[in-house]
A and B are shown apart, each in its own frame.
Chain A
């Protein structure tokens, strides 16, 4: 975990920030409607919803996906579920049976979004770190 001194609205006074991957802060599910993929992002800890809302702006998500999303990105808020829902237009190579993609139905756009690196307050990063990954030594 790297730290920096840049101020952060959700930080305690004087607290630094740390970089982690979104996969440790939230889980997600994605699906399709035609050529549009949707990604629902859910905070593991509902207390982190405001942080998610601040981090995952439409611009940030659009930039993260880059050429994978040809059209616009829309965001909808579900504070009741500690979740955000994103619509990624033009993401599925035409969608349905037209698409030549392995992931023609957008099933793993969820974890593609969770690859995003985010800068968050140190105390949140300490709590979240490793949350979204299978622990080492775990059998499956």
Chain B
């Protein structure tokens, strides 16, 4: 383990033997205590935190349209106020995409938080901007960037007016630049989840975009880290009933070496488990073609990976191969696409499933008679078929209870609004033994649909910028 006393000029020193990158959040809403356990529970060089899922950017964009200073993961600045002094003392640097659609606003809030924690003059925040294409969207379309939907091939123009957010998934180059400039916290917008892990490895070991195999290993490390405890026992199906102390689950830590090989582990005296089958489950999570895992910096091939248990809660990962990245970046676009609502009621024994189905039939007939135009009506019986559909078979004759769940979707808000008034009446005008309407009328939700597209790198990468904010 090297010391990192001179952060501003790391390349004047030999690269460290091992770099430890811990995962602190797998999504916006993850265990708030996990990052604290990571920085306090043992040695660590970097804490990576992934806050962004496909729909998160549009939620943040909406928040920002109401309040210009919003639009980022608002949990992050108070978290930094809590952990920043420890991070600085132990030399842990934080790399995160908590910036959402307002990385600079997030950076300013972190500066405030750091000052509140008594760190004025002692730390630097690196803010990466340029991924946000919303204000450039019309120019880009005019320049011939059609932003066709990756699945359907349709051009974006017809839904342009309904677009709420548009961000390019950017890679690790600006993260490396911010680290080179001595940032203690690197804040990005829509950087890829994996770049938050392999960016620090590129910085520490001096890897470039040309180091294909090492970068591919970094991508695998990033894929393992990006979902938090899913790589250390959370949501693991294998022997789940034996998983120890999940109330204090240790989030994964990657211990990487300059050759790209790494060991996945977690801090001692934490719950969960890092084993070959648990890590394998995470490797397959949200996997497409495993020979072609595309990132902005490299295309990784997972089909040569080997996993080896080298100690308790230690799995060594090697063998990923890489090849040159493509000329494109993926763009995450969110657009308004109608309205939906979900209503539920609970029916009890006897004949619970039959009562729920009868209620659904009555409801449908009433909706038909009102002449409401829905694009879809979905009826599920929670407790029987809501997750596995017909594979669940017929309901047991004596099923103790089921929850009737009715969901509707429409282009306009009005029919959905009317639907929300049709659930409660079933309590007194439908089948018996019904309860569970304590939550009130269902809420009408605006749908933000996801539009994945590709854009040429040269339309985005020259606009990427790193700004250093001094605390």
Residues on A lying within 8 angstroms of B by beta carbon are 27-29, 31-35, 38, 40, 42, 44, 64-68, 76-83, 85, 87, 93-98, 100-103, 108, 110-112, 115, 132, 134-135, 138, 140
Contact with A along B285-320 (1 / 0, CB 8 A): 111111100000000001111110000000000010
Q: Name the distance in Å between B253's Cβ and chain A's nearest Cβ.
A: 21
Q: Name the distance in Å between B434's Cβ and chain A's nearest Cβ.
A: 20
B-side contacts of A132, CB under 8 Å: 237
- B54, B277, B281, B287: the one within 8 Å of A96 (CB): B54
With A97-B447, A102-B380 as contacts: A33 and B288 at CB distance below 8 Å: yes
- The chain B residue sitting closest to A79, CB to CB, is B303
With A28-B237, A100-B340, A140-B241 as contacts: A40 and B388 at CB distance below 8 Å: no
CB–CB A93/B378 < 8 A: yes
CB–CB B305/A87 < 8 A: no
What separation, in Å, do the CA atoms of A58 and B447 have in the docked complex? Answer: 33
CB–CB A38/B283 < 8 A: no
**Known contacts A40-B281, A80-B304; can you find 14 more A-B pairs with CB under 8 A?**
A29-B282, A33-B288, A76-B291, A81-B305, A93-B376, A95-B450, A96-B448, A97-B447, A100-B342, A108-B388, A110-B237, A112-B388, A112-B389, A115-B388
- B241, B286, B452: the one within 8 Å of A134 (CB): B241
**Segment touching A, from B135-143, B175-183, B205-213, B401-409:** B401-409
What separation, in Å, do the CA atoms of A95 and B150 have in the docked complex? Answer: 14
CB–CB B288/A38 < 8 A: yes
Determine whether B390 belongs to the interface, using a CB cutoff of 8 Å to chain A. yes
CB–CB B449/A31 < 8 A: no
Residues on B lying within 8 angstroms of A by beta carbon are 54-55, 151, 235-238, 240-241, 277, 280-291, 302-307, 319, 337, 340, 342, 376, 378, 380, 382, 386-391, 405, 407-409, 445, 447-450, 452
- B277, B303, B388, B409: the one within 8 Å of A27 (CB): B277
CB–CB A76/B290 < 8 A: yes
B-side contacts of A100, CB under 8 Å: 340, 342, 376, 378, 407-409
- The chain B residue sitting closest to A74, CB to CB, is B289
What separation, in Å, do the CA atoms of A79 and B389 have in the docked complex? Answer: 31
B-side contacts of A81, CB under 8 Å: 280, 283-284, 305, 307
- A40, A44, A64: the one within 8 Å of B287 (CB): A40
Q: Name the distance in Å between A67's Cβ and chain B's nearest Cβ.
A: 7
A-side contacts of B235, CB under 8 Å: 29
- The chain A residue sitting closest to B149, CB to CB, is A34
What separation, in Å, do the CA atoms of A64 and B282 have in the docked complex? Answer: 24
Q: Name the distance in Å between A20's Cβ and chain B's nearest Cβ.
A: 16
What separation, in Å, do the CA atoms of A87 and B307 have in the docked complex? Answer: 23
- The chain B residue sitting closest to A114, CB to CB, is B237
CB–CB B237/A111 < 8 A: yes
